[in-house]
Structure 1
Amino acid sequence: MDKVTSADGTAIAYDRLGNGPAAVLVCGGSVDRMSNAPLAALLAEHYTVYNYDRRGRGDSGDAEVYAVEREFEDLEAVFAAAGGSAHLYGTSSGAALALLAAASGLPVNRLALWEPPYILEGGRPRPPANTAQIFRDFVAAGRRDAAAEYFMAEVVGLPAEFVAMAKASPWWPAQEALAHTLAYDATVMGDYSVPVDALGRVTVPTQVLTGGASWSWMVESNQAVVAGLPDGSHRTLPGQEHTVDAAVMAQALKEFWR
């Protein structure tokens, strides 16, 4: 593990693996860099992989006030450590962050996005507009468990029986530990609509990947994302749900990035 310092002084931790062209991995909501660790290990056969902790997670630091732009600066610091430019992969809300960062001018070579969870008009219900504030209020009241439960049930839309099982599982304390970052991902997602203006500013080759066994609303919204990209393509990974198999994703990324 190593660290870089972001523009606001926040320390950002990352693991560097392998040799070859640089590739940076962005995790999604309610997880840290360990969620991408199996993928990083597989990609390290062909790439120099930078698997980093987003601010507020794992071994990275944080700031008192959050802004999406600070996460852009975190990525810029990781890219600088990687030599200035890199391939970029983001998963779920981390895919939305990667997309917005690329639109801001981050020097991305090729951009791969796994199931950015935008919701089309008329699709599944969108989370409330004040979702980020709901998370902040729960955490401020010391109710991290409620924040994590709200994320699973109301934002992701997981069934009540799964949420009950999760709360009784050994990994639930890790969910509570990351509860303060749920507001960060809600801020990245905005109102969960497809960011049409940002899409037009992403000029690098971009591939949006969707699981063949994923939700139908995800397939439709991911196709809408591709339609708004100047140089976009869509790929379906047969049999994959939102929690994608690392070996399947590694092969898809190798094929796109090479």
Structure 2
Amino acid sequence: MEIVTSADGTPIATRTTGSGPTVVIVNGALSTARDAQEIARAFADIGLRAVTYDRRARGDSGDAAPAEPLREVEDLAAVIAASGSEASVIGHSSGAVLALYAAGEGVPMSRLFLSEPPFRFGAGDPAADLTERLQALVDDGRPGDAVVLFQREGVGLPEAFIEQFRASPGFDQVARLGRSTVYDVLVTQRTSTPTAAMLGVSMPVTILRGSETMPILVSAASRLAAAMPDAEFVEVPESIGHRMDPEATARIVAARLT
């Protein structure tokens, strides 16, 4: 593990696997760099250098109040700069939203891969006060309740699924990421409809979508592809249930970088 210092002084924990063209992996909600190790190894096995990192308020990375999406943009910029080479970026879920937001803000990246970004295009956005309610739960020492609220209102998961997950052995570990839900809601609210700067990024963009995923993600990928006519759209049959298949994704990325 290595520590990169972001623009505001916050430490960001990174991990590097393999050698070759560099790809920075930006995780989605309720995950850390360790959750990306399987795909990082798949990238390394196919001849890529994978850089994973704990997004702000997760894992071994730090945080600073108040929560602000532009701090996450600065974090990604710092990770790319510290990679020591020209880097491509692949983001998954809210990580894809963050990656495209960062590209629109001018963060340099040679190529961008967007896996199932949950753009809502202004339809069915969560309540405007969701971030405040999430932060209040975290401040009250109830990060697990923040995770549940995020799953219920931020993602829209069925109540039965939420209750089953809450009763599972892994819930306590995920509950530690309660503060990170504030960031995920902030960045997806701010860019529910991608800005002109995001849609007009200059680097090549590939939009990835699994064959079996949530309807909102199918719609989001189609609408984003239509709004970015120069972007490439790739359906990945092996990616099921809003999860990037490591080997299939690695093949797609490597074919465009090597």
Q: For the superposition of Structure 1 and Structure 2, which TM-score range results when normalised by the shorter chain?
A: over 0.9
Length-normalised TM-score, structure 2: 0.93
Give unmatched runs, 5+ long, in structure 1: none
Is 2:181 the partner of 1:182? yes
Cα gap change, 1:38 to 1:205, in 2 (>3 Å): same
Q: Percent of counterpart pairs with the same letter?
A: 36
How big is each residue's C-alpha offset from its partner over 1:79-107, in whole Å with a ceiling of 9 and x where there is no partner?
Answer: 11112530100010010000011111111
Cα drift, residue 121 of structure 1? 5.2
Match of 1:103 in 2: 104
5 Å-filtered alignment, 1:204-243, equals 204-229=203-228, 231-238=230-237, 240-243=240-243
Distance 2:248 2:129 in 1: 36
Match of 2:169 in 1: 170
Match of 1:80 in 2: 81
Distance 2:171 2:193 in 1: 31
Cα gap change, 1:206 to 1:35, in 2 (>3 Å): same
Is 2:33 the partner of 1:33? yes
Which 10-residue stretch deviates more, 232-241 or 109-118? Answer: 232-241
Letter of the structure 2 residue corresponding to residue 40 of structure 1 = A
Q: Secondary structure at the match of 2:66?
A: coil
Distance 1:60 1:187 in 2: 19
Letter of the structure 2 residue corresponding to residue 257 of structure 1 = L
How big is each residue's C-alpha offset from its partner over 1:192-212, in whole Å with a ceiling of 9 and x where there is no partner?
Answer: 632132333311100111111
How big is each residue's C-alpha offset from its partner over 1:206-236, in whole Å with a ceiling of 9 and x where there is no partner?
Answer: 0111111112332122121122226311111
Cα drift, residue 3 of structure 1? 0.9
Distance 2:62 2:199 in 1: 32
Q: Secondary structure at the match of 2:153?
A: helix
Q: Secondary structure at the match of 1:8?
A: coil
Maintained 8 Å contact 1:208/1:235 = yes
Cα drift, residue 143 of structure 1? 2.2
Distance 1:120 1:7 in 2: 30
Distance 1:216 1:181 in 2: 25
Cα drift, residue 18 of structure 1? 0.8
Give unmatched runs, 5+ long, in structure 2: none
Q: Secondary structure at the match of 2:7?
A: coil
Match of 1:54 in 2: 55
Match of 2:42 in 1: 42
Match of 1:193 in 2: 192
How big is each residue's C-alpha offset from its partner over 1:173-205, in whole Å with a ceiling of 9 and x where there is no partner?
Answer: 122100011001111111563213233331110
Letter of the structure 2 residue corresponding to residue 62 of structure 1 = D
Maintained 8 Å contact 2:103/2:198 = no
Runs of 4+ in 1 over 6 A off after TM superposition: none
Maintained 8 Å contact 1:209/1:237 = yes
Maintained 8 Å contact 2:117/2:221 = yes
Letter of the structure 2 residue corresponding to residue 56 of structure 1 = A
Length-normalised TM-score, structure 1: 0.93
Maintained 8 Å contact 2:21/2:257 = no
Distance 1:18 1:55 in 2: 24
Q: Secondary structure at the match of 2:111?
A: strand
Aligned positions, number: 256
How big is each residue's C-alpha offset from its partner over 1:24-51, in whole Å with a ceiling of 9 and x where there is no partner?
Answer: 0101111111121100011013112111
Match of 1:161 in 2: 160
Cα drift, residue 17 of structure 1? 1.1
In angstroms, what is the RMSD of aligned CA positions? 1.7
